[in-house]
Structure 1
C-alpha cells in the first residue's frame, strides 16, 4: 500500500512521549508499505535528525516552524473563534508539498498523528469523495480534555483561554471523528473518555503503546558501576545518598508542575524522615522554574542527556508525581522495563494498567507519596521485588509489534 503519514512534530529521535509513539508507527509501517512522511520541525536542534528518517520512507517533506511566530498566528485565529492548536501546527508550505504528492500518485491511506493534522486533509483540494484515501486519525489522548485540566489549574486570564481551547478543540475532534474512517486512542480509558464527551462517536479503536524492552534492559554491570553525570561516571560509595529520579522533557507543563511540587512539598518530608535522598531531574530544556530547583542542596537538574538508561539504572526509586496526566506515560513504562521501583499517581498510572502494590506504588497526596518513597528507601528487598514484577508486566503487555499489528488491520 501507499501510505501518507502526517505528523505534528518530527518523529525522531524517540526520546519523549509523542515521538516514541510516532516513530514506532513510522518504523512499523515502513517495513510493510511505501511510506511518504510529512512533519513539522519546531526545534532547530531537531534538524540534525531529519536525514535519519530517510531510510524509513520513500520520500519525506518537512517544514521548520518558529514557535513564537506560530503562537502569534494561533492567537489571531483564536480571536475569530478557531482552536489555537490548528494554526500553530499548520504550514502552507507543508500543505503544498503534501498536495504535490497527492497529485502525482494515489495514496491508499492517510494516517494523521494528532488531531490538528487533519487540517492538511481538509485544506487540500486534491482528494474528491470518489478518490479519497482511507483516513485514520491517531488522537493518542483526548487533547481537548488536557486543556480542560490546564484551565482548572490556571489563573485568570489563562483559565479563560484554556477553557475556550477545550471547547473549540472538542468540537473539532468531533468533526474529525465523523469524517475519518477510524479514530485511534492509546488506552481504553482515553477511548471511553472520548465516548463520554461525544455519545455519538463512531469507529473508535484502541492501539496501545509499547516499550523497546530490549533497549530498556537492566544491565547489572552498568547499574552497579556508575551514575552518569554529563559525560562523567561517578562510582558509588557506602555513604552514597538514596537516588530518586524523574525523567522527561522539562519544558512540558505537566512535568514542570510535578517536579516543582515534589521538591517543595514531598522531598522535605522524605529528608525529614532521615532519608539521605538526592533528587535527579533528568531531561532537556528545563524551564527557569526547574533550573531554580537545582539550587536546592539535594537536587540536581541535568538538562539533556544522550542516554537516559544509566539514570534509570542507578535510581533507587523512580518518582513520577504527575498531577496533570493523560494516556500512557512512557516514563512509567521505561522505568518499569529497567526494573526500577516506581512511585506515581493515579492519573499517571491509569493508562498503564499496572496494579498498585504489585507492579508499582500509587499515591496522590504529598504525604502518601513521601510515605511510599520512604518505605521503599528503607526496604531494599521490596525495591527488588517491585522492580522485577514491573519489568515482567511490561514485557508481557507492551510489545510494540503486537500493538502495531492492530494499526495494520485498520489500514485494510
Structure 2
C-alpha cells in the first residue's frame, strides 16, 4: 500500500455530526487502499476517548488539542495580517511539525485535505498530489451570516467571507482537484473561481442505511399521546440555532393551536442559551445531548429541516429519510439532495407553508387531501437505498488521488491529468496567491 496524508479539521469520529460523518466515511474508504497518516484537531474533550479506534485504523496519527475559546481569540490576529480568520483558528505548530516529519520520513506522494483551512499544512509540498475536499463553500456561509447579523459582527463576518474566498481560490488554483459536497456547491464555486473550473468537482454524502434503519426496535422517548415533530442537529451551530428559533416562534404556535398534542423536539448536543430558552415556550422540548438520535426520529410523526442558512447537503435530512420518516424541508435544506418533492419528502418555503404542511400531516381537516406519511417514508427510504450508498459516492476520490483528474461541471470524472509535479513546483504557495 502507498502512503497518504489525511488532514482533517475535526477528529473524524464518532460520526455524530455532518462534517464528522463525511470525514469518517472518507477515512474508512481511504484505509482500504492506503496507509493513512491522520493529522487532525480535537475540539471536544469527550472525543479524546475515541483516539484508540482511529489509531487502530491509521498507520500513524497526530491529534492536536483545540480549545474553541482560545482559538477564537487567536484567530483575531488574522485581522492584522489580512488573512482569513479560519486559517489562524486552525493554526498549530505541533501539527505543522508532525506533518513535516511525516512527509519527510514516509515520502508521501498523496495528500487529502478535508476542509479548506487545513490546506495550510500541505502548501509547502507541491511535489505531492493534493486533493482538497472543501465540502461547502464556507466563504459563502460567512457571507450569509453577515447578511443576518447586526453591527459589529456583520463587519467581521463580511471580512471573513472576503478573505476566506480569496484563500479558497488560491488553494484551488494549485490543487489537483477541489471537491465539494454537491453539484450546486461545485457550480457556485466554479462561478466564484472560474480560473480553477477544470479541476472543480464534487462527491456527495451517503448514508449508513444499516445504522439508520426503520427495521430496528427503538424504545419511544416520547410521552404517550404526543405528536412529535423533531429536529436533530448540533445545537451550537448557528444555522441550526436560527432554524429552530424561527420554527419555534414563527411556525409552531399555529401547529399547536390546531393540534394541542403536538410537541416540537429539538434534539442535539450543546444547545445554545437561545435554544435552551425555547423550552419555556408551550409545546417545545429541548433535549440536549442524547445517547442515540434514532429513537427520536423513529417515533416522531414528522421530521423537519427548516433551515434558512445552509450550504452543502443536510445529513439530518438523508438520515431521517433513511429511517423511512417523512421530512418537511425548506428550499435551503433541500439543495443538493436528489429527491422528488411531494413523493419522497415535503417542501415548504415560508412560515405559512410550514405550518399548513405540518398541520395537514398531523391533523388533516375533514375532506382535505391527506399526506400519506407512511407512503412518503417508504419512498424516502427507497430513494436513499438507491442513490446514497457511501461506496459509490466515494469512488471518484481515489481516481482523483491517483490520476489528478479533471471534474466536469456535472461532477463526472474523465481521465485527464491537470498538473504535473514540475508545474506544481513552480506554482505559488496558497498564501501568496
For 2:190, the equivalent position in structure 1 comes to: 195
Alpha-carbon distance in 2 for matches of 1:151, 1:294 = 28
Cα RMSD, aligned residues only? 1.3
SS at match of 2:77: helix
Runs of 4+ more than 3 Å apart: none
Total equivalences in the alignment: 395
Aligned with residue 402 of structure 1, among 385, 392, 396: 392
Deviation at 1:90, TM superposition (A): 1.2
Alpha-carbon distance in 2 for matches of 1:24, 1:311 = 24
SS at match of 2:32: helix
SS at match of 2:76: helix
In the TM superposition, 1:144-183 aligns within 5 A as: 144-183=139-178
Deviation readout 1:233-274 (Å, 9 max, x if unpaired): x6x64xx02110000000000000011111111000111223
Alpha-carbon distance in 1 for matches of 2:84, 2:146 = 15
> Does the aligned pair in 2 maintain the 1:5–1:111 contact within 8 Å?
yes
For 2:41, the equivalent position in structure 1 comes to: 40
SS at match of 1:294: helix
Aligned with residue 251 of structure 2, among 266, 269, 293: 266
For 2:420, the equivalent position in structure 1 comes to: none
Deviation at 1:381, TM superposition (A): 6.2
> Does the aligned pair in 2 maintain the 1:241–1:276 contact within 8 Å?
yes
Deviation at 1:72, TM superposition (A): 1.4
Alpha-carbon distance in 1 for matches of 2:109, 2:81 = 35
For 1:231, the equivalent position in structure 2 comes to: none
Alpha-carbon distance in 1 for matches of 2:14, 2:283 = 31
Aligned with residue 204 of structure 1, among 200, 205, 208: 200
> Does the aligned pair in 2 maintain the 1:134–1:181 contact within 8 Å?
yes
Alpha-carbon distance in 2 for matches of 1:66, 1:307 = 26
Alpha-carbon distance in 2 for matches of 1:395, 1:120 = 37
SS at match of 1:322: coil
For 2:229, the equivalent position in structure 1 comes to: 244
Structure 1 unaligned segments of length 5 or more: list them: 229-233
Alpha-carbon distance in 2 for matches of 1:76, 1:156 = 20
In the TM superposition, 1:11-410 aligns within 5 A as: 11-122=12-123, 124=124, 127=125, 129=126, 132-201=127-196, 202-219=198-215, 221-222=217-218, 226-228=219-221, 237=224, 240-378=225-363, 382-410=372-400
TM-score when normalising by structure 1: 0.93
SS at match of 2:386: helix
Alpha-carbon distance in 1 for matches of 2:98, 2:216 = 48
Deviation readout 1:276-316 (Å, 9 max, x if unpaired): 20111110000111111112231111111111111110010
> Does the aligned pair in 2 maintain the 1:144–1:166 contact within 8 Å?
yes
Deviation at 1:377, TM superposition (A): 0.9
Alpha-carbon distance in 1 for matches of 2:220, 2:172 = 47
Alpha-carbon distance in 2 for matches of 1:347, 1:381 = 22
> Does the aligned pair in 1 maintain the 2:77–2:88 contact within 8 Å?
no
Deviation at 1:221, TM superposition (A): 4.0
Deviation at 1:220, TM superposition (A): 6.1
Alpha-carbon distance in 1 for matches of 2:253, 2:264 = 11
Deviates more, 1:398-407 or 1:267-276: 267-276
Deviation at 1:275, TM superposition (A): 4.6
Alpha-carbon distance in 1 for matches of 2:374, 2:354 = 19
Alpha-carbon distance in 2 for matches of 1:313, 1:110 = 39
> Does the aligned pair in 1 maintain the 2:258–2:363 contact within 8 Å?
no
CA spacing shift, 1:220–1:25, aligned 2, 3 Å: closer
